Structure 1
Amino acid sequence: MHDMLHKSDNALPNGVGVGYKAQHFSNILDNADPVTWLEIHAENYMGAGGRPIAQLRALSDRFPLSVHGVGLSIGGEGRLDPDHLSRLKHLVSWLNPASFSEHLAWSTHDIDGAGAYFNDLLPLPYTDATLARVCDHVSEVQDTLGRTMLLENPSSYLAFDESTWDEVAFLTEVTRRTGCGLLLDVNNVFVSATNMRLDPRAYIDSFNHAAVGEIHLGGHDADEDDHGAPLLIDSHGREVADPVWALYAHTIAVGGPKPTLIEWDNDVPAWDVLAAEAARADALLAPVPA
């Protein structure tokens, strides 16, 4: 099955991308430096047409694009939504992006026979049953799209007692069984490690860097749990924090240069603020030997 999968010809460059927001359309066309590629959220472009699709077509003529899904619920207990998957296939077919990715998380659940959707991407226990389900879902997505997808590590706020795999081993096994790649979200690593009192560098050192097709960087908010201990929330609504920059520098030193995205989805700033974050990433990424 894996031999039938393919990636598109316009692979993402080992440079910096940003999550595209419509208010930045003119800025990007006027001067995108140092941004070399763009990411869109699939669910924003599943309509029939209009200005969003027209802008997306214009951008696709100028930049390699990454499509990032947030609604498939790869870790969910039920089957994947066939209508959602069909709309995703249509988008990917005409756009032919350089990359498609989704989260290792769940956002849908069957409650009393009715489907419920949660706005948050929720973590899942790492068990043999979960592994089999995730692999089935990843394989279904790849078979439907006719391309290799990337699976993103989640941000976690607690550990499940029933977990029998650690996260890195779980992700590595998914890649072995399905042939998928990985999206390494460095902010998620820092958030999870802080919340669960783990060593983020040890996580990075053990990660399957050979499977990484993309890196994400984003901002987080700091809070406290009921015991006064630090609790970080993956918010995508502010600058990348200094310790995440340090962890990113360690990541590319260990795993080599990878296409790197600045995620800023909430309280979206003016273009010059976002471009400055991209420039900071580029300054770290550009000198790293391939």
Structure 2
Amino acid sequence: MSRVASPTVPRPVSTGIGWRHPHYAELLATRPPLDFLEVHSENFFAEGGAALAVLQQARASYPVSLHGVGLALGSALGVDLWHLDQLARLVDCIEPVRVSDHACFARGTVNGKLVHAGDLLPIPFNDESLDVLCANVQQVQERLERPLMVENLSAYLTLVGSDRSETEFLTALTRRTGCQLLVDVNNIYVNALNARMPGEQAGDPVGICQAWLDQIPPDVVGEIHLAGHCVMDDIVIDDHGSRVTADVWRVYRHAINRFGAVPSLIEWDTAVPPLSVLLDEAQQARALAVPHGVQPALLR
């Protein structure tokens, strides 16, 4: 018999929100229509207790993505084994759909003492940094027995020692370790703006971001982050404290066109608004995303 292709079935983008403490009770009470929730892993490291109980309640209704800020994957001292053990325990408990952290360093020694910067500090894009990052990512993946997602950073200075672009560096990381990328389009935009500050008008930041995205292979992107930013004096800060701007939405549309229906998250961490605002932003992401069809099935 002849075989015909079935009609293309639209596949909408999976959208979620960063679930923060002010919205714990309301979200559990109302169960709004979301595809997933994302939480900061470190907030749930305590064994047992109210925080973990709340997360388990949410997990009963939604897939959960764990997003970390403390692994310090680019640190030459390596990964903190206690931190990794706590993350592994949480992964076993929650069974998240994705686990992620940042391409940054935070651990080092000062006067012979181990210190943690408590911030996401940038790393140079060179062979030495790549070797460190790959080793640490691989260690985490082996401990968790799953691929990790690594997020591009919003950085406020240019490091001496880089000999390749950020996109080349991150792509090499994925090819060597099998990890995926969490592409934060707001971070790309913030970096593009800061590269031309103060007061310079030359260059199109949206075009710069689109060119950045075009250098990333589509098969390595596992999630997209969206957030707001603010301008303070002569610097743009990735503060996650406002709605996504029109330009960042333009960059996001380009990302979806390139990468396909990648799960997309609204982050909001400062001046947290009512839950309805985050839900509205998530709906905006879904509405702006170009529907991507599944491959047509062949019928006999």
> What TM-score does the superposition give when structure 2 sets the normalisation length?
0.87
Matched positions, count: 273
Correspondence for 1:206: 215
Cα displacement string for residues 125-146 of structure 1 (whole angstroms, at most 9, x for unaligned residues): 1110000000000000001111
Correspondence for 1:62: 61
Correspondence for 1:241: 245
Contact 1:217 1:262 in 2 (8 A): yes
Larger radius of gyration: 2
TM superposition shift of 1:34: 4.2
Aligned partner of residue 65 in structure 2, secondary structure: strand
Contact 1:237 1:267 in 2 (8 A): yes
TM superposition shift of 1:285: 2.4
Structure 2: state its 5+ residue gaps. 1-11, 197-204, 295-300
CA distance in structure 1 between the aligned counterparts of 2:179 and 2:193, rounded to whole angstroms: 28
TM superposition shift of 1:165: 1.6
Contact 2:34 2:62 in 1 (8 A): no
TM superposition shift of 1:286: 6.3
Larger CA deviation: 248-257 vs 114-123: 114-123
User: Counterparts of 1:37-56 in structure 2 under 5 Å?
Assistant: 37-56=36-55
CA distance in structure 1 between the aligned counterparts of 2:275 and 2:93, rounded to whole angstroms: 28
CA distance in structure 2 between the aligned counterparts of 1:248 and 1:106, rounded to whole angstroms: 27
Asked if 1:261 is matched to 2:270, the reply is: no
Residue identity opposite 2:100 in structure 1: S
Cα displacement string for residues 153-185 of structure 1 (whole angstroms, at most 9, x for unaligned residues): 111223223101210010010111101011000
Over 3 Å counting, the alpha-carbon distance change for 1:152 and 1:95 in structure 2 is same
Residue identity opposite 2:112 in structure 1: G
Cα displacement string for residues 48-99 of structure 1 (whole angstroms, at most 9, x for unaligned residues): 1121111111111111110011001001121211111111111111211110
Match for residue 216 of structure 1 among 210, 225, 248: 225
Residue identity opposite 2:58 in structure 1: L
Aligned partner of residue 265 in structure 2, secondary structure: strand
Asked if 1:147 is matched to 2:146, the reply is: yes
CA distance in structure 1 between the aligned counterparts of 2:67 and 2:159, rounded to whole angstroms: 27
Correspondence for 1:163: 162
Aligned partner of residue 35 in structure 1, secondary structure: coil
Residue identity opposite 1:215 in structure 2: I
Aligned partner of residue 182 in structure 1, secondary structure: strand
Correspondence for 1:103: 102
Q: Larger relative contact order (C-alpha < 8 A, sep ≥ 6)? A: 2
TM superposition shift of 1:208: 2.1
TM superposition shift of 1:289: 4.0
CA distance in structure 2 between the aligned counterparts of 1:125 and 1:267, rounded to whole angstroms: 32
User: Counterparts of 1:126-145 in structure 2 under 5 Å?
Assistant: 126-145=125-144
Aligned partner of residue 25 in structure 1, secondary structure: helix
TM superposition shift of 1:220: 0.8
TM superposition shift of 1:232: 1.3
Correspondence for 1:18: 17
CA distance in structure 1 between the aligned counterparts of 2:31 and 2:215, rounded to whole angstroms: 35
Contact 1:15 1:286 in 2 (8 A): no
Contact 1:256 1:289 in 2 (8 A): no
Correspondence for 1:251: 255
Larger CA deviation: 172-181 vs 106-115: 106-115
Root-mean-square deviation (Å): 1.6
Contact 1:107 1:121 in 2 (8 A): yes
Residue identity opposite 1:206 in structure 2: Q
> What TM-score does the superposition give when structure 1 sets the normalisation length?
0.90
Q: Identity rate of aligned residues, in percent?
A: 40
TM superposition shift of 1:32: 4.2
